[in-house]
Amino acid sequence: WADRCQLSRRTLTRLFRRETGQSFAAWRQRVRLLEALARLGAGEAVTCVALDVGYESPSAFAAMFKRELGAAPRQYLRWADPEVVLR
């Protein structure tokens, strides 16, 4: 992205944090998680979703999911309100 914007990586990082209040890595993880929640809520398999949103393995995805939401993907979907998951 820095090259596309003709900025140094450091400048892009600084501007991104200033505009969003978070690092690019944190933002990317949040976007991946939101996409995963929507797809899981629609009934897609955890393995497919994990690989499609950019994780190397379903276990890496599950670890991030649990760290962020406090439960493994299948557990979370069992007790989460479907209306909230799909938003």
Q: DSSP of the chain, one letter per residue?
A: -HHHHT--HHHHHHHHHHHHSS-HHHHHHHHHHHHHHHHHHTT--HHHHHHHTT-SSHHHHHHHHHHHHSS-HHHHHHHS-HHHHT-
The pLDDT tens digits for 20-43 are 999 988 999 999 999 999 999 888
> What pLDDT does 80 receive?
63
Dihedral of CA 57/17/85/74: which sign?
positive
Q: Where are the domains of the chain?
A: 23-85
Q: Could you confirm whether domain 23-85 is CATH 3.40.309.10?
A: no
pLDDT band at residue 85 under the 50/70/90 scheme: low
The pLDDT tens digits for 45-73 are 999 999 999 999 999 999 999 999 999 99
pTM of this prediction? 0.77
pLDDT band at residue 1 under the 50/70/90 scheme: confident
